[in-house]
Amino acid sequence: MLVLRLLNVVAPAYFLCISLVTFVLQIFVFIPSMFRDPSTTPLLSPALLHGALFLFLSANALGNYVLVIQSSPKDLGKDLNLGKGAEVADWLDGSRSPGSALPSTHFCRLCARVTQRHDHHCFFTGNCIGSKNMRNFIMFCLYTSLACLDSLVAGMAYISATLSMSFADPLAFLTLLPHSISQFFSGDLLSSEMFVILMLYLWLGIGLACAGFCCHQMLLILRGQTRYQVRKGMVVRTRPWRENLQEVFGKKWLLGLLIPVLNVESNYRRQKEK
């Protein structure tokens, strides 16, 4: 438990550090290197478009990250009748008090609260993911993966121009790291260039992980399930996939794709609670 609590503090700091490094490299290294002659740069140059795209992706990723933390799932432990002699810390699912427990509720020992439609505890946000912040969490994963992909492409273009190498061969990226390490220790590669190369692989790993997690989460949403329900083997009531999507994203889902906004409960959820 002590290790998990330490990870719950270190992981958000690690994510914010990676985000800051990515922002500095993009704004002060990659984008300026795209301007050949600033005096003759057209208004809609590729460099300006890339900068605008990166700022859009970063703002959505960071905005949804803040909203995931801000819109914490409500603690239902005080409102639930857990039964005589039962403690919240001992109540892990609805099997202890089936007459009063809400479906798919779970007590998180790290957050010390009972959350409705508990999915999992995210260490990178230091918060539980439930019915209130699921939409923002999906958008956070989506835009983080896109921002990492954008940084990966910009970083490869920068390394290609700096080291005069081509990535036309698919194996060039796979062999880039071992060749760079040997050149770095032989003194033929600068520390700044080696740092950018290491960031390329870090962006690739984070981008693929976030994209895979986002796709898996969307599949569970379409089925009307949560990760906690799948892990516990709980049987859920079959519903149309459109209702499952509407329950998470609401009717104004398009607005949430463009800008980070708080999750607004859908009419379906309100009727269910009534």
Band of residue 86 on the pLDDT scale cut at 50, 70, 90: very low
93, pLDDT greater than 60: no
Say if 129 falls within a structural domain.
no
Domain enclosing residue 24, as ranges: 1-73+134-273
Considering the domain architecture, whether residues 21 and 86 belong to the same structural domain is answered as no
Band of residue 96 on the pLDDT scale cut at 50, 70, 90: very low
Q: Which range has the top average pLDDT, 13-22, 69-78, 99-108? A: 13-22
Q: Which of 63, 90, 117 is the last residue of a domain?
A: 117
Considering the domain architecture, whether residues 91 and 227 belong to the same structural domain is answered as no
Considering the domain architecture, whether residues 255 and 208 belong to the same structural domain is answered as yes
Q: Which residues are catalytic?
A: 122
Considering the domain architecture, whether residues 169 and 265 belong to the same structural domain is answered as yes
Say if 256 falls within a structural domain.
yes
Q: Provide φ and ψ at 107, rounded to 5°.
A: -95, 120
Structurally, the chain folds into a number of domains equal to 2
User: The pTM is what?
Assistant: 0.85
Considering the domain architecture, whether residues 213 and 230 belong to the same structural domain is answered as yes
Considering the domain architecture, whether residues 48 and 2 belong to the same structural domain is answered as yes
Considering the domain architecture, whether residues 45 and 160 belong to the same structural domain is answered as yes
Say if 128 falls within a structural domain.
no
